[in-house]
Chain A
Amino acid sequence: MVAGDERMSRSWTEVQALATRAAAGAGVPSAQSLAFGAMLARHLADGGAEAPLQSALDAPERIVALAQRVEEVIEAASVSPRPIKTVEPDAAQRALLVSWLVGLPCRTAVDVSGETVLAALDLSAPSTRARTERLLVSADLDADLGALAARTYVADSEASRTMGAGANLMDTD
């Protein structure tokens, strides 16, 4: 917890992994969940607001739609070096679209003008965008992510505990 507010200090990996699971728990397909996790970490690192993330997790079809939009941008970038213009009237979705694009593992430059997002992607060059030492997550978002992620875990059972995993329950050799 960070003194003076309700935010938690988390590693990048922790946040990305939890967000990936949370998206899966919300019902998003696996690949899109993975990309959402990366986007969420980038969004927070760049100082993005949490409200759009909460909205997306509340309506997972918004995450799938964003992933689809990014897929189309990447496809366009693969056939032409020109920046790709896409219009997103929803401000929350637009904020996440920008974070999704700048978080891709390739060199990107993204400009926003009104409802228009202009993205230049160099698919042949790796991303040069630095990652931060820590991410700050509000207690509310942290709890929401945790609750959604928990939907992906299988409830414990005796059979599972004794037969489904590795070593013995007690190992003194």
Chain B
Amino acid sequence: MKDTTNPMPPLRPPHEVMRLARMGAMMPTRLSFLRVLTRRLCAERAVVRRTHWDMCADGFGTSVHRVVLGGRDYALISVSKPLDDASRSDRVIATAWDAAFVLFDGVPTDADIARVAAQAPRQEAGRFEPRDLVLSRANKSMRLWSEIVTALRAGGQPSASRIGEIGYVMRTTAVYGNGKFGIADRHLIEDRPELSGAFAAEMLAVYLIRQFSIDLVQHVGQGTLDRGLARHIGVGNATGLGMAPFLVTHPVLLNNWMVARETALARVLAVANIFPETRKRAARLGDRVAGHLSDWHVPSTPDEAALRALEAEWGGFRLHFADLSARDPYAEVWALAQAGSVALQELVLALLLELNGDIVDGLADCMIDPFGHPPRPFSGTEALRAAVIQDWAWALEIDFDDSEACRRFWYVSADKLEPRLGDRFAEEGAELETPLDIARRVKNLFGDLPKIDQPVSAFLREFPDHKHAVDRVAICAHHPYSEIRDNLIATTCRPIDMLRCKLSFFGATKFDPKSDLWTRITLAQGAPLGDELNEERDDWWLPVMSA
């Protein structure tokens, strides 16, 4: 709660925010999509009910979890099947999974369940209908699965530290929405308030998959997990290159996500003073961050070192949250954070947002792109040139004659249409490159612009290949946070940074990078369970087992 507000400071500029090094350090916030969805579930005091459970003792069969949201019924239809260890892969090229899911629009009949049971395990090879809103699949984390089953069957409880360490018993390897393989297009549901938010249907599916996984492990273990332990079981996800191009192919959406986040920060920084209870909460959240970082370990040596460095840095910085000043408290602590690492700054940003739901949460409604980008042509090639100079100086500086600046190319493999990254000087297929080389395209466009002003349409008649770059420049002129301001085909480009950015917007925690190309994460760890959704429980940002 605040009693006075200063003028809102300017947003951080795109050249500072839209860099991979910073995007690769982003943390989940209360604007993250799963958090927004859970907040709505809590506000409506929704209850997840298991209305169908046809599982054998080993946990194979079908189930339905239903929830009413926004006055409508939604149901997760789950299909669990045996899977050999040798077939368990997180890759798109996998053809079998431990479980498959469809988020269904309404109350499924027996025939609906039978249809989904036949199609969902086939995933990309299946065919789906407009009442199927989301398609997903998951594999078990065998290490935690076995430990929980063994402990429950012995009449005990699994190790809390193991649950904290691993964080999930099932890991999704794809969550498809928006018309894929015949499921409903987003435009069919986007006018429903409960699903109008970015990726809301997908997040609802993920939340229900988490509930399914907890129910399934208890069923096979023939016991009941302590509620605190169950709440700390999230749902895992393995994400690879398939997610990265989305940020490039949806520039207006990316802009809107970033603007919402940066506006939230600016609003918070404008708060002039805060009440004592907020100060106490800030101190508690500071402690929680320390606990979360302490719990967060990864096998990768450099990433583990980065986490420990952040933990140490936070150890000193958290004292500022223990004693926020009376005047301009957030602006002061934010200014202090600027002397710290990028990772620290992004962590502080997320904490500041967490403390200020009353002025932040409404921005979630702005994180969609309902209209697309209407055509906004330049008055001529000189106006186009000026826009390039204004927004793309960073791209013009890149020397694309240097082989390391253009070594990589993004492509789609014929093998199950899996997105991949190749070396254009060592591998076949660069001529089929996916057009994510935006910086190079804009630089090439700039080089071909005529000396004398002319209509852009006349220029494009001569150079139709530059249309893509012209469009990107036009979008960026009106949506300044629409472009990642780094060279995405350079040897130094780390796709993992793009994944981290997008996953943080989903609400991911416990990032566990396995290489520069893929990561595992956890979603919904600490979130209220399906029978405890109420506003008092919406306090699970960066959870620790005891929180």
| Residues of chain A having any CB pair with chain B under 8 Å | 9-14, 29-32, 64, 67-68, 71-72, 74-75, 78-79, 104-106, 121, 123-127, 131, 133-134, 150-157, 159-161, 164-173
Within the complex, which residue of B238, B377, B414, B421 is in contact with A167, where a contact is CB–CB below 8 Å?
A: B238
B435 to A166, Cβ gap below 8 A?
Answer: no
Q: Which of B52-60, B112-120, B367-375, B526-534 contacts A (4 or more CB under 8 A)?
A: B367-375
Give the chain B neighbours of A155 by CB distance below 8 A.
Answer: 414, 428-429
| Residues of chain B having any CB pair with chain A under 8 Å | 85-93, 130, 139, 141-143, 173, 178-188, 238-242, 370-377, 379, 411-415, 417-422, 427-429, 432, 435, 455-457, 460-461, 464-465, 467-468, 470-471, 514-515, 517-518
28 A-B pairs whose Cβ atoms sit less than 8 Å apart in the complex: A11-B182, A13-B180, A14-B180, A14-B182, A64-B464, A104-B374, A105-B375, A121-B375, A123-B375, A125-B374, A126-B371, A131-B185, A133-B130, A133-B185, A151-B432, A154-B412, A154-B414, A154-B429, A160-B415, A160-B422, A164-B420, A165-B420, A168-B514, A170-B86, A172-B85, A172-B88, A172-B142, A173-B143
Within the complex, which residue of A10, A31, A160, A167 is in contact with B514, where a contact is CB–CB below 8 Å?
A: A167
Residue of A nearest to B418 (CB): A165
Within the complex, which residue of B92, B142, B374, B411 is in contact with A105, where a contact is CB–CB below 8 Å?
A: B374
Q: Which of A150, A152, A159, A172 has the most CB of B within 10 A?
A: A172
Give the chain B neighbours of A79 by CB distance below 8 A.
Answer: 379
Q: A164-B427, A165-B241 are in contact. List 6 more A-B contacts (CB 8 A).
A: A11-B180, A11-B184, A133-B130, A154-B422, A164-B421, A165-B518
A154 to B413, Cβ gap below 8 A?
Answer: yes
Give the chain B neighbours of A133 by CB distance below 8 A.
Answer: 130, 185, 188
Known contacts A12-B185, A172-B88; is A160 also within 8 Å of B238 by CB? no
Shortest distance in angstroms between A146's beta carbon and chain B's nearest beta carbon?
11
A150 to B417, CA, bound (A): 9
B432 to A154, Cβ gap below 8 A?
Answer: yes
A14 to B375, CA, bound (A): 24
A164 to B93, CA, bound (A): 13
A126 to B374, Cβ gap below 8 A?
Answer: yes
A30 to B185, CA, bound (A): 23
Shortest distance in angstroms between B127's beta carbon and chain A's nearest beta carbon?
9
Shortest distance in angstroms between B10's beta carbon and chain A's nearest beta carbon?
26
Main secondary structure of the interface of A (DSSP, over half): loop
Within the complex, which residue of A68, A159, A168 is in contact with B89, where a contact is CB–CB below 8 Å?
A: A168
* A-B interface pairs (CB < 8 A), number: 182
B241 to A166, Cβ gap below 8 A?
Answer: yes
Residue of B nearest to A17 (CB): B179
A30 to B440, CA, bound (A): 14
A171 to B89, Cβ gap below 8 A?
Answer: yes
A166 to B517, Cβ gap below 8 A?
Answer: yes
Give the chain B neighbours of A127 by CB distance below 8 A.
Answer: 371-372
Residue of A nearest to B83 (CB): A172
A13 to B179, Cβ gap below 8 A?
Answer: yes
Give the chain B neighbours of A11 by CB distance below 8 A.
Answer: 130, 179-180, 182-185
A167 to B411, Cβ gap below 8 A?
Answer: no
A121 to B412, CA, bound (A): 36
B376 to A123, Cβ gap below 8 A?
Answer: yes
Known contacts A166-B90, A166-B517, A168-B91; is A150 also within 8 Å of B464 by CB? no
A106 to B374, Cβ gap below 8 A?
Answer: yes
Within the complex, which residue of A30, A104, A166 is in contact with B239, where a contact is CB–CB below 8 Å?
A: A166
Give the chain A neighbours of B419 by CB distance below 8 A.
Answer: 165
A153 to B413, Cβ gap below 8 A?
Answer: yes
Shortest distance in angstroms between A158's beta carbon and chain B's nearest beta carbon?
11
Give the chain B neighbours of A170 by CB distance below 8 A.
Answer: 85-89
Shortest distance in angstroms between A14's beta carbon and chain B's nearest beta carbon?
5
Give the chain B neighbours of A154 by CB distance below 8 A.
Answer: 411-414, 420, 422, 428-429, 432
A11 to B127, CA, bound (A): 11
A171 to B179, Cβ gap below 8 A?
Answer: no
A67 to B464, Cβ gap below 8 A?
Answer: yes
Give the chain A neighbours of B412 by CB distance below 8 A.
Answer: 152-154
A171 to B427, Cβ gap below 8 A?
Answer: no
Known contacts A12-B187, A150-B414, A157-B427; is A167 also within 8 Å of B467 by CB? no
Residue of B nearest to A130 (CB): B187
Give the chain B neighbours of A165 by CB distance below 8 A.
Answer: 91-93, 240-241, 413, 418-421, 517-518
Shortest distance in angstroms between B174's beta carbon and chain A's nearest beta carbon?
11
B89 to A9, Cβ gap below 8 A?
Answer: no
Closest 4 CB pairs of A and B: A166-B240, A13-B179, A166-B518, A11-B179
A172 to B144, CA, bound (A): 11
Known contacts A14-B179, A68-B464, A133-B188; is A75 also within 8 Å of B457 by CB? yes
A12 to B429, CA, bound (A): 29
Within the complex, which residue of A64, A121, A134, A167 is in contact with B518, where a contact is CB–CB below 8 Å?
A: A167
B240 to A167, Cβ gap below 8 A?
Answer: yes
Give the chain B neighbours of A166 by CB distance below 8 A.
Answer: 90-91, 238-242, 514-515, 517-518
Residue of A nearest to B519 (CB): A166
A168 to B89, CA, bound (A): 7
Give the chain A neighbours of B86 by CB distance below 8 A.
Answer: 170
Within the complex, which residue of A32, A134, A152, A171 is in contact with B238, where a contact is CB–CB below 8 Å?
A: A171
Within the complex, which residue of A12, A29, A153 is in contact with B464, where a contact is CB–CB below 8 Å?
A: A29
Known contacts A133-B188, A154-B422, A167-B91; is A75 also within 8 Å of B455 by CB? yes
A1 to B384, CA, bound (A): 47
Residue of B nearest to A71 (CB): B457
Give the chain A neighbours of B415 by CB distance below 8 A.
Answer: 156, 160-161
A78 to B143, CA, bound (A): 61
B181 to A14, Cβ gap below 8 A?
Answer: yes
Q: Which of B91, B240, B471 has the most CB of A within 10 A?
A: B91
Residue of B nearest to A28 (CB): B464
A32 to B422, Cβ gap below 8 A?
Answer: no
Residue of B nearest to A171 (CB): B90
Give the chain B neighbours of A167 by CB distance below 8 A.
Answer: 89-91, 173, 238, 240, 514, 518
A67 to B187, CA, bound (A): 25
Give the chain B neighbours of A12 by CB distance below 8 A.
Answer: 179, 185, 187
Within the complex, which residue of B89, B143, B181, B432 is in contact with A152, where a contact is CB–CB below 8 Å?
A: B432
Shortest distance in angstroms between B524's beta carbon and chain A's nearest beta carbon?
19
A106 to B418, Cβ gap below 8 A?
Answer: no
Within the complex, which residue of B418, B428, B467, B518 is in contact with A32, where a contact is CB–CB below 8 Å?
A: B467
